[in-house]
Amino acid sequence: MEVNMAHVIAVANQKGGVGKTTTTVNLGACLANAGKHVLIVDADAQGNATSGVGIDKPRVEKDIYDVLVDEEPITSAILHTDHEGLDIVPATIQLAGAEIELTSQMAREMRLKLGLQPIRADYDYILVDCPPSLGQLAINAFTAADTILIPVQSEYYALEGLSQLLNTVKLVQKHFNPDLAIEGVLLTMFDARTKLGNQVITEVRSHFGDKVYHTVIPRLTRLAEAPSYGQPIVDFDPKSRAAEVYEDLVREVLAAHGE
Q: Which does 251 bind (CB under 5 to 8 A by kind): ligand ADP, Mg ion, none?
A: none
- Counting contacts by CB under 6 A, is residue 220 touching ligand ADP? yes
Are the C-beta atoms of 64 and 77 separated by less than 8 Å?
Answer: yes
- Counting contacts by CB under 6 A, is residue 143 touching ligand ADP? no
Are the C-beta atoms of 134 and 165 separated by less than 8 Å?
Answer: yes
In the list 9, 12, 18, 95, the residue contacting ligand ADP (rule: CB under 6 A) is 18
In b/e form, how buried is each residue of 206-228, taking b as 16+ CB within 10 angstroms? ebbeeebbebbbbbbeebeebbe
Q: Which does 177 bind (CB under 5 to 8 A by kind): ligand ADP, Mg ion, none?
A: none
Q: Which does 111 bind (CB under 5 to 8 A by kind): Mg ion, ligand ADP, none?
A: none
In the list 7, 15, 20, 36, the residue contacting Mg ion (rule: CB under 5 A) is 20
In the list 217, 233, 250, 253, the residue contacting ligand ADP (rule: CB under 6 A) is 217
Are the C-beta atoms of 168 and 134 separated by less than 8 Å?
Answer: yes
Shortest-Cβ-distance residue relative to Mg ion: 21
- Counting contacts by CB under 5 A, is residue 62 touching Mg ion? no
Question: Please, what is the angle between helix 162-175 and helix 136-144, to 10°?
Answer: 60
Piece of 15-23, 50-58, 142-150, 193-201 that binds Mg ion (CB under 5 A): 15-23
In the list 6, 14, 19, 147, the residue contacting ligand ADP (rule: CB under 6 A) is 19
- CA quadruple 90, 93, 94, 100: dihedral, nearest 10: 110
* Number of Cβ atoms within 10 Å of the Cβ of 127: 27
Query: What x-and-dash track marks residues 170-199 binding ligand ADP by CB under 6 A?
Result: ------------------xx----------
List C-alpha distances in Å: 106 to 43, 67, 69, 101, 166: 19, 14, 10, 11, 25
Helices (H), 90-131: 98-103, 111-116
- Counting contacts by CB under 6 A, is residue 200 touching ligand ADP? no
Estimate to the nearest angstrom the gap between the alpha carbon of 210 and the chain centroid. 20
| Shortest Cβ 85–ligand ADP spacing (Å) | 21
- Counting contacts by CB under 6 A, is residue 20 touching ligand ADP? yes
Which residues sit at the interface with ligand ADP, rule CB under 6 A?
16-22, 48, 132, 188-189, 217, 219-220, 223-224, 227
